[in-house]
Structure 1
């Protein structure tokens, strides 16, 4: 029973680590290590937790204590081993019982120390402390101990050489990682950073895109992609890439700072530049508070106002299919501006799929433009052929239910959750229904998970193109948004009518 409880506690700690909740794993590992000092695995995980939190002094103390404990265990094991060998000296090895064999093996393991493994942990600590030359020397010694995990070792050595500004050596190690593990996004990011340092922006962009092709939810990759795009003179795309990085990780000081610089220098937009400088300071303080144990970054309190949930479908080529063969879909979360976009498209002269079952009301006086059959697309998609050349509204969570093989153009509406969630609650209140029992933060997390699944499914579709539209941008700059939508849909529609259809007075919830 004691062993079972111990393993359950250890698994809980590992789960916390896997969720980047190292602060919560530390007390569990501390207790386990105190109760079972001979179990070095607890000390190793504790050491890694403190490194992850950039607490190198604590990590060093743990390493030294673990080595001291190991020394005591080794001395005791050697005494017991000598005693056991003496007891078995008159017995042939083939006559040893299974129990004796097991005890010999266990004592021999306890009586030895793997110096290569020690070098790996010393190298990891030195790397975290910024002592890259010493780190490389120690990590080089560890190659024998890390044969099962050479990609991780080479990756660390590559970044150590980056720290020493030895770009060629860094690139060599990152390429060795990819030879062993071609699907390693961190190695691509390492090469991206190397190319940026050497002013090879095109190659840096290729590596950033390679990393994103492996893991799209990768804020650092989007940020580096933005840097490369900016240096290549692709300013608008650079802004989009960095904004994607921030949408995936709002607590990203460098991304906010860089974006502030672009807005100030390239667009002379002092307001947005000031906003992102403030967000950079706030993010830096949150990280500082987190490392001090004052807050938990996994609890999203205080950050929901800046969340804009979106889907991304990578770098899919534009559709070649003519408009008359394409189904146009307006999608997004409820209360994200989908009805407004439907009104814009209807005003522009595009045919709409609607049945008028849901009538206009106080929440949407201009109408919802819904089509009841679209709500059952997972069980009945017989209406899809009739929707060619027309547009229809489908809630984001139902997009994966669309049948494949049909070309789609999707206008995906995005809006800050600080506006979406209260707007949903007000709508439900008007309808006399209860809102979600979840907190806004938990509901936001739920939406993120749902739309991540939507994103993954849509990435498998071949004939699909997505245009993300920010609701607040449509309100603030309807002319720009009308132009974007018209170009997305072939460029033959009435932009002035689209602009007229946008009514800022109907904006139900502001930040």
Structure 2
């Protein structure tokens, strides 16, 4: 990194010298340095990815990162879909998913139906800085997206409205009387001259386009401005926690990999800039401070990018990689620890852990105990009471600049932002995706159905809804909506849905026939290979499934879904050790996966390791209830009435109905002379083997599941089973009688006793 830019990247301490060198008379704050160092330094780099960092570290180009890694803990950090920054960074701040924290997109509508940026006013959960305030700790928060309007906390908040806008509102900083100080620290775009720009174009072709230069200048000015605010607060403040979020690294990725691929070196040079900025922050702390560096998602390698992005308001998400980064260092950290199975849901609980504050039970994330010298504290019920009043109300940013900025960066489609109904629909679609990401497909479907009833729903709304309907085994709804929209679907998508439908109705021959001639999409990517591989697996064609998955793993070796399916192929072939290895590798990349933990348990059972299997099953049980809907609201437990056909299951269901127990039945099989009150069956139950999610439908109900279908039950669902027993001869006689077959003396029990004796 060239001297002028590296010097300025170190932060506030060099700002006065830089202005003087350029003969600028700029008044700067003159607060004395503080001797108090923060307990925790949190750094958020949007889109940082180990696939870009590690090669640069190997070349010695990121010395600050390298120093933290050597004596710290590191690993991949799995993101959530949709991978959109405001939603993800709010999850990082709260430890909750979007449907619990309230941020569902980039923009929303104010009371006058004007398009406004998403606001902290919509956040419905406590952030780690609000929880810290509740514990009488001081926080400095810089640039968090979204953080405007800022809360009245103990400390200072420089909100995203201040860091992203050239002309921010007058209350973009809390306390408001501090805003003038940060205005003095802002780096103006027109101050960015060639001596600062040239390092970012190092090893690039000469004569870059004017538009590219302007975009890089803007991103550099914003990066350096945030660095000034952050380093100034570290230099002069006395907060317990200092957190800074930097968004422009994501912009540099999009510029160098998507918009101007011949200028790819901009990406590597941006990482070198950010490494220098990190060096400047570390100079402001001492060895008593713990350091956490994370990204909300990564960025795909050039070879993995789609040739062109779809016509989609949030198409930029397609370039994002599921895995970001997590890096820990400091006195509380066990050195040289390799982290695995981390997700962005973990970050808030771990920030609280490093502040000696317990996480709450609503937070799904785990504490990275392997990285810490101190054990996890018991969790409290909720931090909901820690929410702090805002300094403002939504609607005060009526700022065209902010919305236009989102459009220019590709985060927002101009057509979407121009129509209020489009914004509301898009935010509802993103909310539905959040529910489906958490396995709560029924909630997602309920949100999507009204979107399908609009005159011209986008294809992606249609595909998402059909996918969830068929996943949930909603055959009638799927048939209805598929019939209405199939003429709009691309041929390869149409074929996929036909195959899944055939599998759902147990028409395997038609599924295999269709799968053999399935049209290929314009661009073969991991998602496509996984879908086809999963379908071959469901058809029992394991070698063909393995071929598809191997191709997927060549593109994304760490894809948790591909690793899981590869494990399933070996599991079906009774290759337990190979299956176990793939399952373990999958949870290293996505730890919150109850089904995979259960499969690990089954594999270990077959490998004669019962104690290890028990641990895996316990993790599966602990994880899954978080994904079940309304489990805490079910006053009645789930009751399964089981047994052989004609063993008395219908009679027991009738007894439960008489006792006013809720019954899960579609009444499709009416009563007859053999069962006058009906059979109390539900047609969905026979699909359990293919769609285990159906089990969520009968939570808190009594359901009839005959013995042959019991193995298809998810292993993690707590239920009470009433097993009906009847003499085997009576059961068979009753079955024959229903079929009008002459009943002869069978003496089955005697024959079985004779067999057992022999």
* TM-score, scaled relative to structure 2: 0.27
More strand by share: 2
Name which structure has the greater RCO, CA cutoff 8 Å, separation 6+.
2
More helix by share: 1
* TM-score, scaled relative to structure 1: 0.38
